């Protein structure tokens, strides 16, 4: 049994040949799945009924089921999906001036243990299959009736901890017979698994790499991110240089501002010395308070002051717009609430 939605057009071709079918059927099926978001073989009306039946029996087409859909006042929509094995993941649809963006999850839960993050509260269950990452986007596109032009792999999970599935996902979503997304419109966010950053650099993909830094030195970083015990900021910087050299893509550093933890003037100065030489972009995120975590957001003025300090040092910086705060906005909160409610 094949996971049809995870297969490339080439792989489908050999499957169809094996089944004694014409190879050109592969492209038809691929387009139904990846371009039009078909949820079942029944929708593929240009295939014979016999072939549709045989495919459904031998290689069922799996689709995510919407368990919950929340629509925010600002247009942001949050989806809780059920996977074929009953696990759940969440995804977010956001409208920007440049297009529509979907934030996808890459794993069921997470084992990275960042202290401020809700996604890691229930641990890691498993990595998602490429089909399950793709289908978050396909279902959302079908349900909203809108084109998705940007994807951020910033939902639950550590994408570089599910590396092979991530790569296949990127190849499929950028396929010209699929959604045909530009690699430039894809951002992958990682807590900084250094060897995997080098691997990714070799793939020659024009995607943006965002690194969750969240602290300007190892000592502070270790208090909020367990991964910092494994890789130092110096090692991350070297990996970023290699990534930039190989791809020509500037790195983004994500920095969640947590009041009293990483938002002092000195933190801003230290952060500038990391980002400056790399010409990295800094994305400041006012920390999203998670009930179980107890971290607090700084005042609007303290966030603005932090930004200004970085700018004075010539750093390219933006503050993440807060979207969907009224709908379990923070990473992993919707899924976590559902799990808590069912216990
Ligand atoms: N594992 C990946 C991607 C998932 S989270 C990573 O670590 O980058 C996407 C971003 O949101 C990360 O920068 C993460 O650190 C941040 N984040 C998680 N919980 C948050 C919270 N409560 N407030 C603000 N940012 C948060």
How high is the pLDDT of residue 330? 56
Fold (topology level) of 4-58: DNA polymerase; domain 1 (1.10.150)
| Helix/strand/coil for 69 | strand
Average pLDDT over residues 308-321: 94
Question: 81-127 pLDDT, tens per residue?
Answer: 999 999 999 999 999 999 999 999 999 999 999 999 989 988 999 99
How high is the pLDDT of residue 133? 98
Helix axes 233-247, 194-202, angle to 10 degrees: 10
Nearest atom, ligand 1, residue 157 CA: 1
How high is the pLDDT of residue 250? 96
Domain ranges of the chain: 4-58, 65-342
- In a 10 Å sphere around its CB, with 0-12 CB exposed, 13-18 middle and 19+ buried, how is residue 11 labelled? middle
Residue 129: DSSP 8-state: P
How high is the pLDDT of residue 329? 57
Indicate the helix (H) or strand (E) that contains 77: strand 77-82
Ligand 1 contact via 116 beta carbon (within 6 Å): yes
Ligand 1 contact via 290 beta carbon (within 6 Å): yes
The span from the CA of 1 to the CA of 337, in Å, is 34
Q: Is residue 333 very low, low, confident or very high in pLDDT (cuts 50, 70, 90)?
A: low
How high is the pLDDT of residue 40? 97
The span from the CA of 126 to the CA of 65, in Å, is 18
Residues 6+ apart with CB under 8 A from 131: 3, 4, 5, 6, 62
Whether 331 is a known active-site residue: answer: yes
Cβ pair 145, 37 in contact under 8 A:
no
Fold equal for 4-58 and 65-342: no
How high is the pLDDT of residue 332? 64
161: number of Cβ within 10 Å: 19
Cβ pair 178, 168 in contact under 8 A:
no
Cβ pair 150, 117 in contact under 8 A:
no
The span from the CA of 58 to the CA of 49, in Å, is 14
Nearest atom, ligand 1, residue 153 CA: 3
DSSP string, 252-286: EEEEEE-TTTS-SHHHHHHHHHHHHHHT-EEEEEE
Ligand 1 contact via 158 beta carbon (within 6 Å): yes
Residue 313 pLDDT > 80, yes or no?
A: yes
How high is the pLDDT of residue 82? 98
- How high does pLDDT run on average in the chain? 94
The span from the CA of 83 to the CA of 271, in Å, is 40
Fold (topology level) of 65-342: TIM Barrel (3.20.20)
Ligand 1 contact via 287 beta carbon (within 6 Å): yes
∠ Cα 283 143 77 (to 5°): 35
Q: Which of 300, 261, 253 is nearest to 278 (CA)?
A: 253
Shortest-distance Cα residue to atom 14 of ligand 1: 212
How high is the pLDDT of residue 75? 87
Distance between Cα 90 and ligand 1 center (Å): 14
Question: 234-285 pLDDT, tens per residue?
Answer: 999 999 999 999 999 999 999 999 999 999 999 999 999 999 999 999 999 9
* Bridge partners, residue 102, by sequence: 93, 151
- Active-site residue, selected from the candidate residues 117, 191, 240, 331: 331
| Helix/strand/coil for 310 | helix
Average pLDDT over residues 189-197: 98
Q: Is residue 321 very low, low, confident or very high in pLDDT (cuts 50, 70, 90)?
A: confident
Q: Is residue 342 very low, low, confident or very high in pLDDT (cuts 50, 70, 90)?
A: low
Nearest atom, ligand 1, residue 332 CA: 19
Distance between Cα 331 and ligand 1 center (Å): 7
Average pLDDT over residues 325-339: 66
Nearest atom, ligand 1, residue 191 CA: 7
- Active-site residue, selected from the candidate residues 21, 90, 158, 254: 90
How high is the pLDDT of residue 335? 72
Ligand 1 contact via 330 beta carbon (within 6 Å): yes
Whether 269 is a known active-site residue: answer: no
Average pLDDT over residues 285-305: 88
Distance between Cα 212 and ligand 1 center (Å): 7
Shortest-distance Cα residue to atom 20 of ligand 1: 117
How high is the pLDDT of residue 320? 82
Question: 163-181 pLDDT, tens per residue?
Answer: 999 999 999 999 999 999 9
Residue 2 pLDDT > 80, yes or no?
A: yes
Ligand 1 contact via 297 beta carbon (within 6 Å): no
Cβ pair 127, 158 in contact under 8 A:
no
Q: 4-18, 146-160, 170-184, 327-341: which range is least confident on average? A: 327-341
294: number of Cβ within 10 Å: 9
Distance between Cα 249 and ligand 1 center (Å): 21
The span from the CA of 108 to the CA of 127, in Å, is 6
How high is the pLDDT of residue 113? 96
Note the pTM of the prediction, 2 decimals.
0.95
């Amino acid at each position: 049994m094949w996971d049809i939605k995870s297969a490339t057009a080439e792989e489908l071709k050999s499957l169809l040949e094996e089944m004694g079918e014409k190879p050109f059927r592969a492209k038809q099926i691929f387009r139904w799945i990846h371009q039009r978001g078909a949820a079942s073989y029944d929708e593929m009306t240009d295939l014979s009924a016999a072939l549709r039946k045989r495919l459904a029996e031998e290689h069922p087409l799996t689709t995510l089921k919407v368990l919950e859909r929340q629509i925010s006042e600002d247009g942001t929509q949050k989806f809780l999906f059920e996977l074929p094995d009953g696990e759940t993941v969440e995804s977010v649809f956001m409208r920007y001036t440049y297009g529509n963006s979907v934030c996808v999850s890459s794993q069921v839960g997470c084992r990275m243990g960042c202290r401020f993050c809700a996604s890691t509260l229930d641990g890691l269950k498993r990595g998602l299959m490429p089909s399950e990452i793709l289908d978050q986007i396909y279902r959302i596109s079908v349900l909203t009736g809108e084109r998705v032009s940007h994807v951020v792999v910033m939902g639950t999970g550590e994408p570089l901890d599910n590396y092979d599935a991530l790569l296949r996902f990127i190849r499929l979503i950028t396929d010209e017979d699929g959604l045909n997304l530009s690699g430039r419109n894809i951002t992958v966010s990682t807590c900084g698994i250094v060897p995997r950053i080098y691997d990714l650099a070799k793939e020659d993909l024009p995607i943006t790499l965002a690194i969750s830094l969240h602290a300007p030195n190892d000592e502070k970083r270790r208090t909020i991110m367990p991964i910092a015990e494994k890789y130092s900021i110096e090692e991350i910087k070297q990996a970023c240089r290699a990534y930039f050299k190989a791809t020509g893509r500037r790195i983004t550093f994500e920095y969640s501002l947590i009041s009293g933890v990483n938002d002092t003037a000195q933190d801003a100065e230290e952060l500038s010395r990391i980002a400056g030489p790399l010409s990295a972009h800094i994305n400041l995120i006012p920390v999203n308070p998670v009930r179980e975590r107890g971290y607090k957001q700084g005042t609007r003025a303290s966030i603005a002051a932090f930004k200004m300090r970085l700018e004075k040092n010539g750093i390219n910086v933006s503050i993440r717009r807060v979207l969907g705060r009224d709908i379990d906005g923070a990473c992993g909160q919707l899924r976590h609430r559902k799990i808590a409610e069912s216990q």
